[in-house]
Amino acid sequence: MRPSPKGVSIHPTPQALVATNAGRLITKLVDVQSRRGEATVVLTGGSVGIATLEAVTANPARTAVDWTRVNFWWGDERFLPAGNRELNSVQARQAMLDPLGVPAGRIHAVATADEVGTVEEAAADYARQLADAAAGEQLEAGLEPVDARLPRFDVLLLGVGPDAHIASLFPETPGIRTVGQTTVAVRDAPKPPPERVSLTLESINTASEIWLGVAGNDKAGAVGLALAGAGPIQVPAAGARGRTKTRWLIDEAAASQLSKRLLASDESEEDED
């Protein structure tokens, strides 16, 4: 991994990126559990997101985490029938949650198309799940809430699309403009399926740490624009900001359009963990 700008870790290959991210996530969860007893992660789909979960399952260090005390949410989900292989939750269960024996009560999935009638109902149900979890967490632990509508997110994982979308917040669409809500129903996503449920950018940015995992030449333009300071309406990935840390975890191909000025930054990091 070569030196890179502050907040950016550049890996030589997608495989190296995924393996390193898996180890990083295990280390983070051990740290959070040592301080608070349990931890909360918001998962993402996509090739890097699911490959990272598979790498966690394969990592011998996984046993250092008490997986019965990790809560899992999703940044977005496709509105499809239960069991559909395109669901992020189905892929995550196969890749990591089921192999590691995560209890069902720790897995907080979005309602599927055969559980509720519309994508708006699914978004409202997800918002209720989040609010209920937040209320229980505050009552049990006496924590000062970041947002009373949301549980504490220790790590929130994101992918980035070639168009710079994150979760199901696409450029210049109502979802990326939504404020005052924790979730949003998406009806006209520019990639299939068109109906989705997503956390809003407002909710995403309550996370303590946000990790954006990106690989491939097709994402290089999006990464370059986001790190150059573009606006979030046009480049949603530019709007992701963790409360304590924002990590861009990318491969060489995805880094190919970063500006020379950015790469020459004096504030470089190999890895902070």
Q: What is the CATH number of the domain that holds 176?
A: 3.40.50.1360
Q: Cβ contacts of residue 31 below 8 Å, gap of 6+? A: none
User: How many domains would you assign to the chain?
Assistant: 1
The torsion region of residue 253 among left (phi > 0), alpha (psi -120 to 50) and beta comes to alpha
Model confidence at 2: pLDDT above 50: no
What pLDDT is stored for residue 124 in this prediction? 98
What pLDDT is stored for residue 264 in this prediction? 55
Residue with tokens 């949650």: 97
Closest CA to 230 of 158, 162, 164: 164
For the chain, what's the residue count?
273
Beta-sheet strands, E only, within 86-140: none
What pLDDT is stored for residue 136 in this prediction? 85
Q: 188-197, pLDDT tens digit by residue? A: 999 999 999 9
Listing from the earlier edge strand, what are the strands of the sheet with 183-186? 76-78, 196-199, 183-186
Give the global pTM: 0.93
Share of the chain above pLDDT 90, in %: 87
In a domain, 157, yes or no: no
What pLDDT is stored for residue 3 in this prediction? 43
What pLDDT is stored for residue 144 in this prediction? 72
Question: 105, 69 in Cβ contact below 8 A?
Answer: no
Question: 39, 31 in Cβ contact below 8 A?
Answer: no
Q: 113-150, pLDDT tens digit by residue? A: 999 999 999 999 999 999 999 998 776 666 677 899 99
In a domain, 138, yes or no: yes
In a domain, 271, yes or no: no
Q: 76-126, pLDDT tens digit by residue? A: 999 999 999 999 999 999 999 999 999 999 999 999 999 999 999 999 999
Q: Cβ contacts of residue 135 below 8 Å, gap of 6+? A: 148
User: Average of pLDDT values for 32-53?
Assistant: 96
Q: Could you tell me the residue range of the domain that residue 184 belongs to?
A: 4-149+163-264
Model confidence at 266: pLDDT above 60: no
| Mean pLDDT estimate for the chain | 92
In a domain, 240, yes or no: yes
Question: 197, 185 in Cβ contact below 8 A?
Answer: yes
In a domain, 269, yes or no: no
What pLDDT is stored for residue 76 in this prediction? 98
In a domain, 232, yes or no: yes
CA–CA distance, 37 with 128 (Å, rounded to integer): 24
What pLDDT is stored for residue 6 in this prediction? 63
Closest CA to 210 of 174, 159, 259, 143: 159
What pLDDT is stored for residue 146 in this prediction? 85
Closest CA to 92 of 127, 128, 53: 53
What pLDDT is stored for residue 151 in this prediction? 95
Q: 207-253, pLDDT tens digit by residue? A: 999 999 999 999 999 999 999 989 999 999 999 999 999 999 999 99
In a domain, 236, yes or no: yes
In a domain, 273, yes or no: no
